[in-house]
């Protein structure tokens, strides 16, 4: 049901726009929308054909499961089985940038395709008012991966979405730039030890304060438990050089903190004050902006490995892996 060009609905959204988007989703079409983390590519999660259309539009491998977006914990509990840890995390961090992987509930209405055949399911309650209004209007859970082509950098503006998906989606709701800038933190609660599958918008430290120590290994392993965490991901066309303390000839520089080395053909600051939350907001837009043939590579200054720095460094390490 993709239109020739996606309908763009701008920031000043009317109730009629929302109804229209909800109608498209109920009819099985794909609608992109902002969340507090990144833009998502939404489809009715209970409609198998619509879910299949997400994989097709993104050219996403079918082994990579989707996150199901719900309005609240009660709606999540109709899809997955909660335990005490899940309840505590939901209480603390929902609505917000946290995704929980839990066992499917009996009679779960989400097709297996959405979870790539797994008997677990990833659920999240978004914090942004727009997807919340949309889920309410549709009255069904919405499956939504990031609204980029598979393997590319996640979109943090409606324009980024159209750059990669125009012609493949029915509409995009434009809510301006995303507030967090990196995707949700994904926590696997299907085993006895809660595992950090993907660092993201909620700091791992904050999660550990709530439910105790996390198994942090999955997020850094070569063969991850989260099928989506392929080593080469978020891939700009240019090589990405990490931990750069000097600039090589021809390079563009992604800078962090007040002092940047000289000599870059162009500099983009993630945060001049060295603020990790600000750096997260700017990360994906900066990678897109510097990914131009005018440069030989993107050099990236060191980013501290704590708080949101975990998510930023995770995305940068994946961006630095060259695909075969």
Q: Given candidates 9, 22, 31, 40, which one binds ligand TXA under the rule CB under 6 A? A: 40
Residue pointed to by tokens 């439910």: 211
Residue among 309, 241, 301 nearest 278 (CA) = 309
Nearer to ligand TXA, 22 or 114 (CB): 114
270 upstream amide cis, omega within 30 of 0: no
Nearer to Mg ion, 141 or 200 (CB): 200
> Is 146 one of the binding residues for Mg ion (CB under 5 A)?
yes
Q: Calculate the alpha carbon distances from 252 to 93, 225, 284, 318 in Å.
A: 37, 34, 15, 18
Number of residues that bind Mg ion (CB under 5 A): 1
The stretch among 5-13, 34-42, 259-267, 301-309 that binds ligand TXA (CB under 6 A) is 34-42
> Is 65 one of the binding residues for ligand TXA (CB under 6 A)?
yes
Going by the DSSP 8-state scheme, the letter that residue 245 receives in this structure is S
> Is 100 one of the binding residues for ligand TXA (CB under 6 A)?
no
> Is 271 one of the binding residues for Mg ion (CB under 5 A)?
no
CA distance 55 to 222: 24
| Partner from Mg ion, ligand TXA, none contacting 198, C-beta within 5 to 8 A by type | ligand TXA
> Is 35 one of the binding residues for ligand TXA (CB under 6 A)?
yes
- Inter-residue contact 148 to 154 (CB < 8 Å): yes
The stretch among 19-27, 115-123, 206-214, 288-296 that binds ligand TXA (CB under 6 A) is 115-123
CA distance 251 to 46: 47
Nearer to ligand TXA, 8 or 64 (CB): 64
| Partner from Mg ion, ligand TXA, none contacting 185, C-beta within 5 to 8 A by type | none
> Is 141 one of the binding residues for ligand TXA (CB under 6 A)?
no
Tell me the backbone φ, ψ of residue 58, rounded to 5 degrees: -90, -10
Question: Exposed, middle or buried by CB within 10 Å (0-12, 13-18, 19+), for 223?
Answer: exposed
Nearer to Mg ion, 179 or 198 (CB): 198
Site for ligand TXA, residues 207 to 246, rule: CB under 6 A: 226-229
> Is 96 one of the binding residues for ligand TXA (CB under 6 A)?
no
> Is 184 one of the binding residues for ligand TXA (CB under 6 A)?
yes
Q: How many residues does the chain have?
A: 324
CA distance 283 to 280: 5
- Inter-residue contact 147 to 155 (CB < 8 Å): yes
Residues making contact with ligand TXA (CB under 6 A): 35, 37-38, 40, 64-67, 97, 99, 101, 115, 118, 120-122, 124, 144-146, 183-184, 186, 197-198, 226-229
């Amino acid at each position: 049901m993709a239109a020739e060009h996606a309908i763009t609905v701008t920031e000043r959204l009317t109730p009629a726009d929302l109804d229209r988007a909800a109608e498209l989703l109920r009819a099985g079409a794909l609608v992109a929308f902002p969340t507090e983390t990144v833009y998502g590519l939404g489809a009715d999660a209970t409609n198998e054909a619509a879910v299949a259309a997400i994989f097709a539009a993104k050219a996403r491998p079918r082994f990579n499961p989707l996150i199901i977006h719900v309005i609240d914990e009660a709606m999540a509990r109709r899809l997955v089985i909660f335990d005490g840890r899940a309840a505590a995390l939901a209480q603390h961090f929902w609505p917000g940038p946290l995704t929980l992987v839990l066992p499917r509930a009996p009679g779960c209405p989400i097709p297996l395709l959405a979870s790539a055949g797994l008997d677990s399911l990833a659920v999240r309650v978004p914090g942004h008012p727009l997807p919340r209004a949309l889920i309410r209007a549709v009255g069904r859970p919405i499956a939504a991966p990031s609204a980029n082509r598979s393997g590319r950098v996640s979109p943090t503006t409606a324009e980024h979405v159209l750059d990669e998906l125009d012609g493949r989606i029915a509409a995009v709701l434009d809510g301006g730039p995303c507030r967090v800038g990196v995707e949700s933190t994904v926590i696997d609660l299907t085993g006895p030890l809660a595992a950090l599958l993907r660092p993201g918008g909620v700091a791992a430290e904050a999660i550990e304060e709530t439910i105790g120590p996390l198994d942090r290994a999955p997020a850094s392993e070569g063969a991850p438990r989260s099928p989506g965490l392929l080593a080469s991901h978020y891939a700009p066309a240019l090589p990405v050089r990490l931990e750069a303390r000097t600039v090589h000839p021809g390079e563009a520089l992604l800078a962090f903190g007040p002092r940047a080395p000289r000599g870059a053909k162009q500099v983009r600051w993630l945060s001049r004050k060295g603020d990790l939350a600000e750096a997260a907001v700017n990360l994906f837009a900066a990678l897109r902006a510097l990914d131009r043939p005018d440069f030989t590579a993107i050099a990236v200054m060191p980013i501290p490995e704590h708080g949101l720095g975990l998510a930023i460094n995770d995305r940068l390490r994946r961006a630095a892996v060259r695909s075969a």
